[in-house]
Chains A and B, each alone.
Chain A
Amino acid sequence: MLRTARLTPWLYLAPMLLVLIFTFGYPLVAIFDFSLRRIRGISGPFIGLENYRQVIKDDVFHEAVVHNGILLLAVPIMTFIALILAVLLFDRPRGWQAYRSLLYVPFILATPVVGVIFSNMLQLNGVVNEGLRSIGLDVLALDWIGSPRLALWTIMGVVIWREVGFGIVLFLARLMSINEDLLDAARVDGASWWQRLWHVIVPQTKSVIEFFIVVSIITMLAWVFAYVYVITHGGPGTATMVMELYIYNFAFRMSQLPGIASAVAVILFLVTLAFMVPLFRLRSASEMEEMS
C-alpha cells in the first residue's frame, strides 16, 4: 500500500516527464553524441575528442569567443539604462504611460525585423549617415556595419536598444509593488534621488535585477545569432563572428560538419551553465534572505 502511494505521484508525472525527456533530454544527448563523431548526414564514425581539438585550435572560434565576451559588456549597460528609465517612469512624469509603451515597443519587434531595419539604416550611405551629413556632421557618418572596428559595437548598440525595453517593464512592475512608505520615509529623512535609488530601490528590486542579468547573459551568449546574421553575417571578415554563427556555419551554411557544430554547441552549453549555476544559487540565496 505504502509502496503504491509512493509511486502514484510519479505515475501522474510520467507523461510530462516523458515529454520533457524527449524534447530536452534526447537533443542534448544527441548533441553530445554528435560532438564525438565525424557526422555525414545524421551519423558517422566515432572520432573521440577530435572535433573539440579542431575547435579549440581554430582562430575563428577564438575570435567568436572574444566577441561573445565583448558583448557581455552590454549586460551592465542595459541593466543600468533600464533601471534608470524605469525609475524615471516610476516618478510618473506627464505622459509616462505613453513613454513606457514606446520604450517597450522595440522588445516586441521580431529580432530579424530589427536587424533588417538597422542594417539598412546603418549602411555607409544609409538614413543615419545621410541625416548626419545633412546637418554637417560628416565626421560622425561612419561605416557602422562595414568597418571591422565598429561593427561589433554597432551590433551591441542594436541589442541594447531592443533588450532595454524588457528590463524597463520588469523593473517598473517590481517598483509598482514596492512599499511606498519606504520611499516616503527616505524622502522625509532627506535622501536625494540617487540615495533613494541606491539605498531603497536597488535593494528592493534586487531579485528582479538578478533575473534580468541572468536573462541578458544568456542573450549575449546564446541569443545574438539573429542580430549578427541579419546585420553583418559575421563580417566584415570575422569582425562580428560569434559562437552561434560559428555553429550555424558548420552545421548549415556551407561547411556541413555537424560534428564540429555540435562540439561548439556543447562548449556553449557548458559555458552558459557555468554562468547560470552560480547566478541561480546567488538568486535563491537572496530570495531566502528576503523571505527571512
Chain B
Amino acid sequence: MSSYRARGLTRRDFLKMAGTGLAAAGMSPLLGACGPKAAATPAAGGVPTGQNLKFWWWGETEAPGLQKWVDETAALYKTKSGNTIESTLMDTAVVISEFQTASAANAAPDNIFLWNGIYHMESAWLGYLEPLDNFFSAEEIAATKPTQLSVYEGQTYRLGWYSCAVLYLYNKDMFDKAALDGNTPPATWADMLTACDKLKTAGFTPIVGGLKDGPWGEWYMGHGLGQNLDTPGDAINLFIGDLDWREPRYYEHWTKLKELWDAGFINDDINSIDLYPGIDLFGAEKGAMTAIVAPILGKQISLMGGSEKIGTMVFPTFGVGKLAGKPIADCQGLGISSQSKNKEAAADFLRFAHDPERVEALWKMASAIPNDVSFDTNLIEDAATRELRAKWVEGDTIPYISNLMPGVFWTDAMFVNSQKIISGEYTGEQAGQNAYDVTMKWKEQNPDLVEKYSTWAKDLGV
C-alpha cells in the first residue's frame, strides 16, 4: 500500500483504476457474480452506484463520538459513490446474535461490525461472513492490522477499525510517593509484589477494578493465561480440551489473582462494582494501577486532567510461555456479509472508511485510536496515548487470547472463577478444575464446533 502512495496515487485511486480496467475487459467473473443487479449503474471506478447498503455497527458506548463519525462517513460516501449507507447502532447484548439471526433469516446487513476472535469466527463458520481476501489485497488487509484472530484457513474476515488494545495503566505520582520509580513500572511478578506492597504501605490501593459484570476477569485472564502459552493455538487447545486446565501452569494466573487479593492489593469492593466504576477509581486517583482497553484511555486522561501522571504498562510477567511479557493487541473490526447483494459496494464502503482522511476523522471525532498504519501518530498530543499507539498497535504484539474462549467458558468458567477467587470460594487449583469441567461441557454441547476450533488452532499455532 505504501508503494501506491509513493507514486502519488492513493490506494483508492489505484483500485478504482484497476476496477475500471477489469470491468472494461469483462475479465472479472467475481465482480459479475457479486455485483449489482440490472438497475445498478457502475460508477466511474467500477463500483456500482445507486445502491442502498445496510451497515450495522457498535462502539458508541466505548468510543463516544463514533455515531457522528459513522453519520459523516455515510454522508461523504454517498456524495462520492452515489450509494446510500443505512446505519444501525446495535445494542451491546445482541451484537453477535442479531447478525446471526438476521443471516439465518436471509436478511443480513451488507456491512457489519465484528468483535475479534470467536465473536466473529462462529459467524464465519456458519458461512455468514465473506472472506475479505476476495475484495482486498493482502497489503490492504495488513494495513488495518485486524490481528491473527481474524484469519481462518488462510482467509481474513475482518478489517481492523480502531484499537481495543488491552493494557495496564499506573499512576506515576503514586509510584513516586511510594518510593518507586515512576518511569519504570513493574515488569516481573516479584517487581509487582514489591510495588504493590510499597503502594499499600504508602496508603494507596495498588490495583483497582470492578468485577461484578465480568469483563475485568476476562481482561485479567488475557493478561495472565497468555503468559504460559507459546501460541494462541495453545489457548484453543485448552478451550477444546486438547490441553488440560488442571495443569498448574494453565491455572497459575488464577492462583496469582488469589495471591493479589489475599495480600489486600486489590480494592475491597471489586466484587460489588462493575467494570467501568472500578476503572474510574483510577481516574479518581483512588488506585495506583488498573486494567483498561484502548478506547477508555481518553476518559482516564480527562478524569486526571491530563496524561502526565499516567504510565502504560504490560502486565508483569510470571509465566514462561513465548507469549509472556508482550503487549496485547486487539481491535474492533468491520466485515461484509456473505449474503450482501452488493459486496463490491460494501467493500468499497469499507475501503472509503479506511481512507486516510476518514482515519484521521475517527481519531478527531471519537478519540478512537485508529488501527490503520496510515494514521499519523503525530496527531496524538498526549504522551500516554502516543505510547499506547506505538507499543500496542505498531509494536511487537500478541493477540488477545481471551477472544478465543467459547461463550459458555466466558459465563461458566472465566466469570465464575474470577469472582469465586475474590469471594474466597475457589483456589487457583479449583478454578482450573472448574475450567476443565466447563470445557468438557462445552465439547458435549457443541460437537459440531470442535473440529472448526481444531482447524483454527492449527491456523493460530504459529
Which residues does A use to contact B, with CB under 8 Å?
Answer: 38, 40-43, 54, 58, 60, 119, 122-126, 143-148, 232-239, 249-257, 260
Contact = CB atoms under 8 A, between A and B. Distances in A.
A40 B101 contact: no
B126 A144 contact: no
Contact of A123 (B96, B269, B423, B441): B269
A147 B419 CA distance: 10
Interface stretch (B79-87, B186-194, B404-412): B404-412
Contact of A237 (B93, B104, B407, B425): B425
For the complex, would chain B's binding face be called helix, strand, loop or mixed by DSSP majority? Answer: helix
Contacts of A239: 423
A27 B52 CA distance: 32
Interface of B: 93-94, 96-97, 100-101, 103-105, 122, 126, 128, 212-214, 268-273, 406-408, 410-412, 415-416, 419-420, 422-423, 425-426, 441, 444-446, 448
A42 B105 contact: yes
B100, B272, B425, B444: which has the most chain A beta carbons within 10 Å?
Answer: B272
A254 B408 contact: yes
A145 B419 CA distance: 12
B416 A238 contact: yes
B416 A143 contact: no
A41 B100 contact: yes
For the complex, would chain A's binding face be called helix, strand, loop or mixed by DSSP majority? Answer: loop
Nearest to A238: B416
A58 B441 contact: yes
A256 B442 CA distance: 12
A143 B423 CA distance: 10
A143 B269 CA distance: 8
A43 B273 CA distance: 38
B103 A148 contact: no
6 contacts: A125-B268, A236-B423, A237-B425, A249-B407, A253-B410, A253-B411
A254 B411 contact: yes
B93, B273, B411, B412: which has the most chain A beta carbons within 10 Å?
Answer: B411
Nearest to B272: A146
Nearest to B408: A255
Contacts of B268: 124-125
Contacts of A42: 101, 104-105
A255 B103 CA distance: 18
Given A42-B101, A123-B273, A146-B269, A256 B407 contact: yes
A257 B446 contact: yes
Given A41-B103, A123-B272, A236 B419 contact: yes
